[in-house]
Each structure stands twice: as structure tokens, then as C-alpha cells.
């Protein structure tokens, strides 16, 4: 599925890192002064004269060693900070159970698509696993989680990579595409519905059939995304009322 985290401008160095850089600079200067003074004192006490060449060499080489070690440490720290920041960014935009985009990321991406153009064609589906409470009652919460992960895996297998796929809450999922071919979109969702129903979840208690209902809607002109989602949700309700394990299109 299409990555959802919007690109961000690279932030400046965090305050803690800036403080470490200043401290490292001060350490290098201090090491230079200390090294030159120490070598000058040593040469004077040993030979009664100051070895200026040796003093200058010590003033340069020792701080270089200190600086190399310090900056190697800072580079490692910077990499760790960037890795932590990337992980926090990923967690902020993804569902921890399924690994799909979360509601926040999905709504942000839909809004970005819609804002690109008032005439931007969008097709959207809201999916809801059928009788999910019964699944939890029969298989326990671990079984319920396994059903969600199973459905997410089917989404990854069946849905094109450039479509938006997200878990938006509980047993509810969102699928969207930037397309004006609503018939092809609906056919793809119908294929997904059939594949999910025909692929049981294997559990310690035996195979468990997972099914889902879908509500579909196509964007009308410059329709706001929240209105588009509402119409798809209404169609989903109609699919539930009509017996579940089916798709319904919004009026």
C-alpha cells in the first residue's frame, strides 16, 4: 500500500544534541590548552627549556584524537536519534496490530488527495468484519486479533500497492483509490470479499471462516472527504442489514 507519512522538512538538531556539540568543542579547546601546557611543563622540568615544536605537536595531535573520539560518539548518537524519530513517525501513522495505516494517517491522505483538485476522482470502501463479537466470544481476544491480522493480510495480497488501505477502528477498515473507474474499483472489492470468505483463518480450534461487509461510494465533484466517508458508511450499514458478506454502493 502507498506509504502514508507525509514528507517533512528535516528538523534542526535537537537542543540536547546542540548542547553536546558545544561541550565537545569546549572539550577540544580545553584539551589543546591542557596538552600544550602539560608538554611545555614536562619539557622544561626535564630539560630546563621548552620544546616549542613538541609543545605545538602535542597541542594539535592530542585534541585531534579527542575530537575524533568525540565526533564518532556524536555520529553514533545522531544515528540513534534519527532511528528513534523514524520509529516514532511510523508508530504515529500505523496500526500496531495489523501494520496498516491508522485512522489519522488515512484521513490525512484522503484530505491531501481531495485538496489536490476539487475534481479529483476518488473511490472509497468501508469494510467491517461480520459478527466480530461472536469471533471474540468463540476464539477469545487473541482469536479476534488473529482475524484482524488475517483480513489485513488479504488486503495486502488483493489490493493494488498505490491504493490507500487502513484500519480505522475496531474491526473497521478503509480502502480508497484515486480513480474515476468506479466499476473497476467495485469489481476489485467484490473479488476481495469473495477471497476473504473463501480463505479460512486457521486457529488451534480449527478453521474459522472470516467474512466482511463493504459499503462503497464514489466522490461527487468537489465533495468533502467526510461526506464521502459518511455515504460509504451508510452503504455499509445497508450491506449489514441485507445479510452481511456483501457489498452495497452508496446512492
Catalytic residues: 171
2 neighbors 178 (Cβ within 8 angstroms): no
Q: Closest Cα partner for 210 from 107, 110, 105, 138? A: 138
> In angstroms, rounded to a whole number, what is the distance separating the alpha carbons of residues 55 and 251?
87
Specify the residue for cell string 602535542.
58
Helices (H), the chain: 15-47, 52-93, 103-116, 132-158, 182-198, 225-241
**Which residues face 206 on adjacent strands?**
203
* Sheet-wide strand order for 247-249: 164-169, 172-177, 123-129, 212-218, 247-249
Query: 106: Cβ–Cβ under 8 A, 6 or more apart, which residues?
Result: 4, 164, 166, 168, 174, 176
Q: What does the DSSP assignment read for 142-160?
A: HHHHHHHHHHHHHHHHHS-
Amino acid at each position: 500500500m502507498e506509504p502514508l507519512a507525509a514528507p517533512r522538512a528535516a528538523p534542526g538538531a535537537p537542543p540536547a544534541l546542540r548542547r553536546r556539540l558545544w561541550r565537545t568543542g569546549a572539550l577540544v579547546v580545553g584539551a589543546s590548552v591542557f596538552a600544550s601546557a602539560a608538554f611545555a611543563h614536562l619539557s622544561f622540568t626535564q630539560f630546563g627549556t621548552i620544546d616549542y615544536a613538541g609543545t605545538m605537536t602535542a597541542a594539535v595531535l592530542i585534541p585531534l584524537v579527542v575530537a575524533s573520539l568525540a565526533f564518532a560518539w556524536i555520529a553514533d548518537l545522531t544515528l540513534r536519534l534519527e532511528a528513534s524519530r523514524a520509529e516514532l513517525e511510523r508508530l504515529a501513522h500505523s496500526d500496531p496490530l495489523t501494520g496498516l495505516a491508522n485512522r489519522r494517517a488515512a484521513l490525512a491522505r484522503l484530505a491531501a488527495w481531495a485538496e489536490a483538485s476539487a475534481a479529483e476522482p476518488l473511490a472509497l470502501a468501508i469494510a467491517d468484519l461480520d459478527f466480530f463479537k461472536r469471533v471474540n466470544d468463540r476464539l477469545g481476544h487473541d482469536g479476534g486479533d488473529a482475524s484482524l491480522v488475517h483480513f489485513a493480510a488479504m488486503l495486502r495480497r488483493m489490493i493494488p500497492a498505490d491504493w490507500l488501505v487502513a484500519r480505522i477502528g475496531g474491526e473497521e477498515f478503509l480502502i480508497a483509490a484515486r480513480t474515476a473507474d468506479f466499476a473497476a474499483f467495485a469489481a476489485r472489492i467484490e473479488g476481495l470479499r469473495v477471497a476473504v470468505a473463501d480463505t479460512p483463518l486457521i486457529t488451534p480450534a480449527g478453521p474459522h471462516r472470516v467474512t466482511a461487509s463493504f459499503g462503497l461510494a464514489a466522490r461527487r465533484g468537489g465533495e468533502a472527504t467526510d461526506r464521502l466517508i459518511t455515504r460509504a458508511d451508510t452503504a455499509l450499514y445497508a450491506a449489514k442489514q441485507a445479510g452481511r458478506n456483501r457489498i452495497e454502493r452508496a446512492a
